[in-house]
Amino acid sequence: TETVRFGGTIETYRDFDGRNIIVYKDCTEVLAVPMDMNIAGYETDHVNILRLWSAQSPVPVDMSYYSSGEYLKAVEQQANAEVISKILYPADNHYEGKSLRLKQQYFMVSATCQSVVRKHKAEFGTLRNFHEKHVIQINDTHPTLGHPRADA
C-alpha cells in the first residue's frame, strides 16, 4: 500500500547525517491499495502482472457524526477517497469531472512510481542503479505526471 498526497505544502530540511528530509503539511492522504492480475502472454509461457490500484481512506468512519445522525458527514472522507478509483475517466466537460480525472491520473502515477522506487530501494539500497534495472514507458498524456515525482 502506498500513500498518495493531494494538496498541502512540502517542507524540506537536512537531518544530522546530511540526508534530505521531506515533510508534507496540510495535505489530504489517500491509500493506494494494489491488486495484481496475472495476464498470460500470447503464444508464450510468460505471464505479466497488471497492477491495478484501489483508493481508500486512511481515516475510519467518524463515529461522532454517525452517532449524532449525520451519516453522510460520517463517511465523507471515505467517499471522497474511494470515488478516485470507483469509475475511471469521468466526463470532463465540467470542472468536477476535470478535477476528478486529474486526481485519478495523479493517483495512479504517484502510486506506481512510489511502488517501483520503494521496491528498488528495498532490493538494492540505492537509486544510483535505477536506470539500469527499470524502464518506464510513457505512452499517454497523464504518465508525464511521473516526472515531478522525483521524491517518490
- Domain spans of the chain? 2-146
pLDDT in tens, 69-82: 999 999 999 999 99
CA gap 126, 120 in Å, rounded: 8
Residue 124 has pLDDT above 60, yes or no: yes
CA gap 108, 55 in Å, rounded: 9
Residue 148 has pLDDT above 90, yes or no: no
Residue 43: exposed, middle, or buried by beta-carbon count in 10 A (0-12, 13-18, 19+)? Answer: exposed
HSE of 137, CA atoms in CB hemisphere, 13 A: 1
Residue 137 has pLDDT above 90, yes or no: no
pLDDT in tens, 80-97: 999 999 988 899 899 999
